[in-house]
Chain A
Amino acid sequence: MAPFTEDELKAKVHEGFIVESVEEMTEGYRKSLVVQLTVQADTELMSAPAYWMAARYAPSTNTQVSAHAIIQDELAHANIAYRLLEDIGESKEQLVYGREPHEFKHPYGFDQPLDNWADLVVATGFFDRAGITLLTDVHENTSYGPLKRALIKIGMEETFHLRHGEVWMKRLSNAGGEVREMLQRSVDWMFPMTLEWFGLPDDMKRHTGQLDYKLKGLTNDQLRQVWMSATVPLCESLGLNVPAHYDESAEHYVLDYPFPCQYDALEKHWFFEDGEISWDTVFKRWKARGPMNQRYVESIRRSRGQVAKWLTAA
C-alpha cells in the first residue's frame, strides 16, 4: 500500500520530494512512470537497428567505429531503461521479447529507413537532439531518483552523438554540390518528422499525469521550441532550408508549413501542399507503424530462440 494518496503525492513531488522506491508510489504515479520509461527504453532500443543498418554507409573505418560506438551506447541506454522498469514491477523479458512489433512505443521516426550517410548524420543531429531535449528536461525535473541518476551517463553519451551529427552535417554541407543536395533531402523529411515526435500541441493535450507527478517539467510545445532554438540556427548557419523561422515580435519559433500534415513514408515526402490534417489521422499513421518497424524489431530478437535452444540442449 502506498503511504500517500494520489493528491498527497502530487503535492509532495511539487515541493521537491524525490521518490526512491516502488513502495512509495501510488498506482497513478507508477503507471505514468511506466509509460514514460517504456517510451524511453523502446526509443533507445529501436534507434540501434536504425543506426546499425545505416552504418554500412559509413565512408571510412573511422566513421564505422564512431557509428558503432553510438549504436553500442543506444543499446546500453535501452538496457538501463528496461532495468529501471524491472525495479518498478515490469518485465524486461516481456517488454523486449513478448510484444508484437507494432506494440513498441518508440516514435514513428524510428520506423523509417535511413538510406544513406546523410540520413544517418541528420538522424544523429536531429533525433538525438530531440532525445537530449526530452531527457534533459526529465533529468532536471523528474521526481524519480533512480531515473535522475541514470540520466547522467545517458546525457553525456547523447551529447557525443549529437556532436557527431552536427560535425558531419557541417562537413557534408561544406562539400557542396550533390552531397549538399543529398543532405538537404535528409533535412527535408527529418525536420518535420522530429517536430511531430514531440506530440500533441498544448491546447489539445490530453491529460497524462507526467506533469502532475513531476516526471517532466516542460510541455510538448515548450520542448518543440527548445529543439528548434538549437536546430533552426544550426541549419541556417549551414545554408540549409528548414520550414520554420524565429518570429521577432512573438519571440518564439513558428512553423512555415501546415502542422500536422500527411506523410508518404515510401517517398519520404511531406504533403505541405495538401494542408493541415487532424491529429487523429496522425495517430492512425503512427499506430499502423512505418515501413521498417518489423525488420528493426526482428533484427533485435532474431537469434534469441536459437541460442536458448543450444543452451538447454547442452
Chain B
Amino acid sequence: MHEAVYEVFARKERGEPLRHIGYIDAIDDALARVYAWKTYDEERWFEMCVVPRSSIIPVNRTDGPFAAAAPREERP
C-alpha cells in the first residue's frame, strides 16, 4: 500500500491568498481529497486543493521536502 505525500492549500474567504496549510499521505488523488477535507476541518474553507508533492517544481531551493520529492530532471 504505497502512499504519496500531498500538499494541502486553502483559503478561508474570497479575496484571500491561497495558503499552504499542511500535508497528508494518501494512496491516490481521490483519497487525498477526502483526507485533506477531513483532516484540515478547523475552518470552513472557501477553497481547498491538494497537490502531489512530486508535482511541485522547486525554482530556487535545492534543499527541503519539495526538492527531495521532485523528479531528478526537475531539480535545480
Taking Cβ atoms with an 8 Å cutoff, the residues of A that contact B are 20-24, 72, 76, 79-80, 83, 86-87, 92, 149-150, 153, 156-157, 308, 311
The answer to whether B63 and A24 touch across the interface, beta carbons within 8 angstroms, is yes
Does B56 make an interface contact (CB < 8 A)?
Answer: no
The answer to whether A308 and B1 touch across the interface, beta carbons within 8 angstroms, is yes
Distance in angstroms between the alpha carbons of A80 and B64 in the assembled complex: 17
The answer to whether A21 and B22 touch across the interface, beta carbons within 8 angstroms, is no
Q: A21-B65, A156-B42 are in contact. Are A150 and B1 (CB under 8 A)?
A: no
The answer to whether A83 and B5 touch across the interface, beta carbons within 8 angstroms, is yes
Distance in angstroms between the alpha carbons of A308 and B27 in the assembled complex: 13
Number of A-B contacts (CB under 8 A): 39
- What distance in Å separates the Cβ of A34 from its nearest Cβ neighbour in chain B? 16
Does B40 make an interface contact (CB < 8 A)?
Answer: yes
The answer to whether B23 and A23 touch across the interface, beta carbons within 8 angstroms, is no
Does B55 make an interface contact (CB < 8 A)?
Answer: no
Chain A interface mostly: helix
Residue among B5, B61, B64 with the most chain A CB within 10 A? Answer: B64
The answer to whether A23 and B5 touch across the interface, beta carbons within 8 angstroms, is no
- What distance in Å separates the Cβ of A158 from its nearest Cβ neighbour in chain B? 11
Partner of A79, one of B1, B24, B61, B65: B24
Which residue of B has the minimal Cβ distance to A155? B42
The answer to whether B1 and A311 touch across the interface, beta carbons within 8 angstroms, is yes
Partner of B22, one of A22, A92, A150: A150
The answer to whether A153 and B42 touch across the interface, beta carbons within 8 angstroms, is yes
Report B-chain residues with C-beta under 8 Å of the C-beta of A87: 65
